[in-house]
Structure 1
Amino acid sequence: MAILDILEVPHPGLRAVAKPVPEVTDAVRAIVSDMFDTMYDARGIGLAATQVGIEQRIVVIDLQEPDSDEEDAKPVRNPHVFINPELTAVSDELGSYNEGCLSIPEQYAEVQRPARCTISWLDDKGALHQGEFDGLMATAIQHEIDHLNGVLFTDHISKLKRDMIMKKLAKARKAA
């Protein structure tokens, strides 16, 4: 298992459109494993292969939701693998989340997306699935599919907000 380098804006690889995975092999499963290691190490909840410089349609997500409503409840790992994910339907109803991204560190903005979505995908064994998601999972999967299409969450906000985020990021990088 390896921790991969996460590309950060303005790296051109983040604008790459990923290619479909032709077959789920041991090599693909190794990429998935490394992506989970990388995501957990970075304390994220989702990661697309393009964020680590791999132009394949692979997404890993783990919302790591707490096991209870108590304030100090520990997060429970519930990893999800989506290979060749494809949005097949989205709701007209919108939801709004304060999104962040491992490729735009420590920067957040309210983004509106469809509140529910249906996707089809392959799992890490190559089996085809279809499912409907809502809430944070719907937001996360749409965010990660955007990455596979070369789209960042900042593309969904106003130019003014995007410029503010980029200025804050530049300032943080300069301070570091």
Structure 2
Amino acid sequence: MTIRTIVKFPDPRLRLIAEPVLVFDQELHQLAADLLDTMRAAPGIGITAPHIGVSRRLVVLQLDGGDSARTYVNPEITWASEEMLMHTEGSVSMPGVTDEIRRHARLRIAYQDLDGTEHTEEAEGLLAVCHQHEIDQLDGIFWIQRLSKLKRDRLVKRYEKLQRA
């Protein structure tokens, strides 16, 4: 297991659509382990392969800080509630800044595990927000694109100021 370098905003790789995982091998298991170590070191509660410059549809989430990390290969949202919620979000690729994003309160995803077995999962609250955030990243949508232009510009300026400090 290795802590990898995280791609930082505004790196254009964060805007690329990740490629589907087609091969479920030891290399994929190693990538997932590296993502978990990198996310914990960041620290964060979710990370994707694109966050470390690897264009693969792979997500690792660990919401409670314990050993209950979950890995999702090729996740996709198959249903989302009409009910929405606001949640404060940030990114390991843009540390130090956060803002509120409007997301679906509940959803269902389809995904594969590290061995290629297909699963579905229903989520609400923070878990639903995390799935939407990370699947957006896999689709080349960096979280700040969900903000108004005014809020996005202010957040980018705040981030740039933090980077200079």
Partner AA of 1:17 in structure 2: I
Q: Which has the larger radius of gyration?
A: 1
**1:125 to partner: Cα distance:** 2.1
Alignment of 1:20-169 (within 5 A): 20-64=20-64, 75-169=65-159
TM-score of the aligned structures, taking structure 1 as reference length: 0.92
Partner AA of 2:109 in structure 1: I
Q: Which residue of 2 aligns with 1:70?
A: none
Q: Within 2, Cα distance between the matches of 1:76 and 1:12?
A: 32
SS for the counterpart of 1:105 is coil
**1:104 to partner: Cα distance:** 1.1
RMSD: 0.8
Runs of 4 or more consecutive aligned structure 1 residues displaced over 2 Å after TM superposition: none
Q: Within 2, Cα distance between the matches of 1:143 and 1:77?
A: 21
Deviations 1:97-133 (A, max 9, x none): 1111111111100001110111000112221101110
Structure 1: which 5+ runs fail to align? 65-74
Q: Which residue of 1 aligns with 2:16?
A: 16
Q: Within 2, Cα distance between the matches of 1:174 and 1:122?
A: 41
On the 8 A contact 1:63/1:77 being kept in 2, the answer is no
Partner AA of 1:112 in structure 2: R
Partner AA of 1:44 in structure 2: G
On the 8 A contact 2:81/2:104 being kept in 1, the answer is yes
Q: Within 1, Cα distance between the matches of 2:76 and 2:66?
A: 27
**1:37 to partner: Cα distance:** 0.3
Deviations 1:27-60 (A, max 9, x none): 0010000000000011100001111100000000
Structure 2: which 5+ runs fail to align? none
**Number of positions where the alignment pairs a residue of Structure 1 with one of Structure 2:** 165
